[in-house]
Chains A and B, each alone.
Chain A
């Protein structure tokens, strides 16, 4: 079996579902003949035809509204928003309709849609192509927000998202689209949603992250291990709803925690995690929690983007601070 990248794992999952569920329809801007600007839908139109893998006119709110209507109408739409920054034009359909049609109709109608979208910075992209908006969507009741951090989790979580009976925003960290390769068997096995994945066990400190930042976090954990410090690394994966139990259990064991995210800190997911730690895990904490995040600034254009995205060094500094606290 050949090893594949994260973006290839996305394609593999889409192809699996298109093949095995005739209700699945994939659509978005430039996703057909062109295979998507990141090639996430490469070859799918040739294989499944232009009815089920269709290019749409350029209108993000329309794409989201189509997904809502198609899902209510009995299909399983998987829409692509070309870059997460452009999803802002479709928030009305996601927030006012997709996420709440089940609740509004007391379960008479539902919306099993997936909106896939590449997110985050680090690829020297133009302006408006690098935001990480998971916290914005985590505010919306009725939604799921999922971010994979490896090819196998991209495959398993995307299958789960498509099969889920409720709407899912599936963020694809574009910085790691082609960073690592992994063997991902095309066996149609979904991974569970709503749970964190413990990627590395450790007794000394808990490092919580998701998406692209999991990579720097794992690097830091390896370096710590060389120094005799064992970090537990948690990949949150489904950021909404949040599996606090796994994080709390880990912090109960380690007593120390650093949360690492690319997004801005204020009212973010790290803020939520630390708030819940303060409510439910304060007595296990041996040091104040730290977080390593982007800044409360506009994501800078690419000359400065590396300063915005947390570096291994910034993570290491926070880890040291938490470990040294007595």
Chain B
């Protein structure tokens, strides 16, 4: 038989076996080499019903009231920041409305020596960790001094290039490990960031080197105008962890019990040398992407209304009231206190003088190289 005839017969056989297997007639010996699953965690449903036995801190009224206070503060801060932007006192500002449980729960789960790598919707976690409201106002008000945290020496500043902070997190985690420090790193990212290579590269090395890092995805359903379903075919964002050999957990990001508990568990795991975890927190961006965005161009108002019942602040309030730890009188008193606190921060922000013109040269290098002294002098002389 000529070679070409053999090949034709082989091809025909292959074709036949393909047809048979497509029709389910040919059973091949398939072996599954790995199994994966993505757990979902929630303690309080959107009506504040307890659906799973609560973690022990649910009886710690002091802690819960502190968390509630911070969520409320975050909301008032957010409202004020938008007003300041509308009146020209701030530049573009990204709102955090609806994502308070995630930020505050994350902050509350961390120890002060852990390191936070935020993106730009974690003000509650930052405030929890000592960052001042006027510093965040100052940053969005166009001044780098807003990243010079007076009360927090080591956290990373807000990170604008999407997803790039995940790589700082693995670098910081490597540094912790090399220095035998027992802390861990928490890095926050949006759902949009999970499409980026940075995120995959960071998870990959976190897995390979068993780094003490917790990736927290704020899945608020929108990457500016791109809805979650159009971003990826993956059923969950948490499952992106699987390829890197990490555990991926999905949690209700509007349930502060779930956030605090599972970020805490992931941190304990990280600190005890058991490596990284990816947490996908399901929440919702109630506001526009930023003050420069108009979500009505791409998002139906009904969608926002539908999500209002998931409001994380109301959910915790309901729980607190059900325990008898909270009432409307306390609520009004708190609102009054927090309003004063936010106004005080605005006043402090307004009282910060303009930076000197040469400030742009002050921290370019530790010592300004001779090559740039002439440019600095020109700016100082008011060479406009």
Residue numbers of A with Cβ under 8 A of B are 25, 51-52, 56-57, 59, 61-62, 64-75, 77, 92-93, 96-97, 102-110, 141-142, 165-166, 194, 241-245
In the bound complex, do residue A59 and residue B205 qualify as a contact, i.e. CB atoms below 8 Å apart? yes
In the bound complex, do residue A243 and residue B172 qualify as a contact, i.e. CB atoms below 8 Å apart? no
Determine the residue in chain A with the shortest Cβ distance to B143: A106
In the bound complex, do residue B365 and residue A70 qualify as a contact, i.e. CB atoms below 8 Å apart? no
Determine the residue in chain A with the shortest Cβ distance to B213: A69
A101 to chain B, nearest CB (A): 8
B120 to chain A, nearest CB (A): 13
In the bound complex, do residue A62 and residue B201 qualify as a contact, i.e. CB atoms below 8 Å apart? yes
A120 to chain B, nearest CB (A): 24
In the bound complex, do residue B170 and residue A66 qualify as a contact, i.e. CB atoms below 8 Å apart? yes
B258 at interface, CB cutoff 8 A: no
B324 at interface, CB cutoff 8 A: no
Main secondary structure of the interface of B (DSSP, over half): helix
Known contacts A61-B167, A103-B364, A107-B363; is A66 also within 8 Å of B174 by CB? yes
Bound-state Cα–Cα, A74 to B181, Å: 12
Q: Which residues of A contact B339 (CB under 8 A)?
A: none
Known contacts A69-B167, A241-B370, A241-B371; is A74 also within 8 Å of B175 by CB? yes
In the bound complex, do residue B363 and residue A72 qualify as a contact, i.e. CB atoms below 8 Å apart? no
In the bound complex, do residue B198 and residue A61 qualify as a contact, i.e. CB atoms below 8 Å apart? yes
In the bound complex, do residue A61 and residue B201 qualify as a contact, i.e. CB atoms below 8 Å apart? yes
Contact of A69 among B145, B169, B201, B360 (CB under 8 A): B169
In the bound complex, do residue B161 and residue A96 qualify as a contact, i.e. CB atoms below 8 Å apart? yes
> In residues 165-197 of chain B, which contact A (Cβ within 8 Å)?
166-176, 178-179, 197
Q: Which residues of A contact B205 (CB under 8 A)?
A: 56-57, 59, 62, 66
Q: Which residues of A contact B168 (CB under 8 A)?
A: 65, 68-69, 72, 97
B211 to chain A, nearest CB (A): 10
Ordered by A's residue number, 25 sampled pairs between the chains whose C-beta atoms are within 8 Å are A57-B205, A57-B208, A59-B197, A62-B198, A64-B167, A65-B164, A70-B178, A71-B171, A72-B175, A73-B115, A74-B179, A77-B171, A92-B164, A97-B168, A102-B363, A103-B360, A103-B363, A103-B364, A106-B147, A107-B362, A165-B365, A194-B369, A242-B371, A243-B370, A245-B370
In the bound complex, do residue B167 and residue A106 qualify as a contact, i.e. CB atoms below 8 Å apart? no
Determine the residue in chain A with the shortest Cβ distance to B161: A96
Bound-state Cα–Cα, A142 to B369, Å: 10
Bound-state Cα–Cα, A51 to B179, Å: 11
In the bound complex, do residue B370 and residue A75 qualify as a contact, i.e. CB atoms below 8 Å apart? no
In the bound complex, do residue B370 and residue A142 qualify as a contact, i.e. CB atoms below 8 Å apart? no
In the bound complex, do residue B172 and residue A69 qualify as a contact, i.e. CB atoms below 8 Å apart? yes
Contact of B149 among A92, A96, A108, A141 (CB under 8 A): A108
Q: Which residues of A contact B360 (CB under 8 A)?
A: 103
B144 at interface, CB cutoff 8 A: yes
In the bound complex, do residue A106 and residue B171 qualify as a contact, i.e. CB atoms below 8 Å apart? no
Residue numbers of B with Cβ under 8 A of A are 115, 144-145, 147-149, 153-154, 156-157, 161, 164, 166-176, 178-179, 197-198, 201-202, 204-205, 208, 360, 362-366, 369-372
Q: Which residues of A contact B164 (CB under 8 A)?
A: 65, 92-93, 96-97
In the bound complex, do residue A109 and residue B371 qualify as a contact, i.e. CB atoms below 8 Å apart? no
Pairs of residues from A and B, 6 with the lowest C-beta to C-beta distance, nearest first: A69-B171, A65-B167, A73-B175, A241-B371, A62-B201, A241-B369
Known contacts A25-B178, A56-B205, A61-B201; is A165 also within 8 Å of B172 by CB? no
Q: Which residues of B contact A194 (CB under 8 A)?
A: 369-371
In the bound complex, do residue B204 and residue A57 qualify as a contact, i.e. CB atoms below 8 Å apart? yes
Q: Which of A109, A141, A242, A243 has the most CB of B within 10 A?
A: A109
B121 to chain A, nearest CB (A): 18
In the bound complex, do residue A103 and residue B144 qualify as a contact, i.e. CB atoms below 8 Å apart? yes
In the bound complex, do residue B153 and residue A108 qualify as a contact, i.e. CB atoms below 8 Å apart? yes
Q: Which residues of B contact A77 (CB under 8 A)?
A: 171
Known contacts A62-B202, A65-B198, A102-B365; is A73 also within 8 Å of B176 by CB? yes
Q: Which residues of B contact A66 (CB under 8 A)?
A: 167, 170-171, 174, 205
In the bound complex, do residue B370 and residue A106 qualify as a contact, i.e. CB atoms below 8 Å apart? no
Bound-state Cα–Cα, A194 to B368, Å: 11
Q: Which residues of A contact B204 (CB under 8 A)?
A: 57, 59, 62
In the bound complex, do residue B366 and residue A165 qualify as a contact, i.e. CB atoms below 8 Å apart? yes
Determine the residue in chain B with the shortest Cβ distance to A165: B366
Known contacts A66-B171, A70-B175, A73-B172; is A106 also within 8 Å of B156 by CB? no
Determine the residue in chain B with the shortest Cβ distance to A66: B171
Q: Which residues of A contact B147 (CB under 8 A)?
A: 104-106, 108
Q: Which residues of A contact B364 (CB under 8 A)?
A: 102-103, 141-142
B226 to chain A, nearest CB (A): 20
Q: Which of A61, A75, A77, A108 has the most CB of B within 10 A?
A: A108
Q: Which residues of A contact B115 (CB under 8 A)?
A: 73
Bound-state Cα–Cα, A62 to B196, Å: 12
In the bound complex, do residue A107 and residue B172 qualify as a contact, i.e. CB atoms below 8 Å apart? no
Contact of B157 among A56, A64, A68, A105 (CB under 8 A): A105
Bound-state Cα–Cα, A72 to B363, Å: 15
Bound-state Cα–Cα, A199 to B170, Å: 43
Bound-state Cα–Cα, A66 to B370, Å: 30
Bound-state Cα–Cα, A278 to B166, Å: 45
Q: Which residues of A contact B145 (CB under 8 A)?
A: 106
Q: Which residues of A contact B167 (CB under 8 A)?
A: 61-62, 64-66, 68-69, 93
Bound-state Cα–Cα, A92 to B173, Å: 20
